[in-house]
Amino acid sequence: MLDILKEYGFALLQLLLEALLPILVVFVIQWVRMQIKKVIAGLSSDQAALLAEAAKIAVLAAEQMNLAGLIMDKKEWAIEYAQNYLLAHNIPLDLATIEGLIEAAVMAEFNQYPDAIELRG
């Protein structure tokens, strides 16, 4: 009896996840966009362009470094790279904002969400 309940419980959980996960992804994307727009509102257009460039470069470079076997954790490396890049250009941002930018850049570059990061809108 317990095995039957487990089997049906896992099947129900799988159905719920299949139905709710796409909706959750959309909400996460929208939340990240809102957070980024809040940060961008206080920056000049040059700083906003540097921010977008830092995120894109960090994501692409992390992917290449991982493929070459030079790093193990792409996300950690990309966040550190972007943080150093922005500090070199006198744009201090908190770690959570940089992490959001990296996630948005990953979605835009690799996950077929080209409008996931809109730094000027």
pLDDT tens column, 57-80 = 999 999 999 999 999 999 899 999
Mean of all residue pLDDT scores within the chain: 81
Alpha carbon distances (Å) from 12 to 1, 18, 22: 17, 10, 17
Average pLDDT over residues 2-21: 81
Q: Please, are residues 64 and 28 in contact by the beta-carbon 8 Å criterion? A: no
Q: What's the one-letter identity of residue 48? A: A
- Residue listed under structure tokens 């790093």: 71
Q: Please, are residues 62 and 74 in contact by the beta-carbon 8 Å criterion? A: yes
Q: What's the one-letter identity of residue 118? A: E
Q: Where are the domains of the chain?
A: 23-110
Give the tokens for residue 27: 């909400």
Distance CA(39)–CA(49), nearest Å, equals: 13
The answer for residues whose C-beta is within 8 angstroms of residue 87's C-beta and 6 or more apart is none
| Single pTM value for the model | 0.60
Percent of the chain with pLDDT over 90: 17
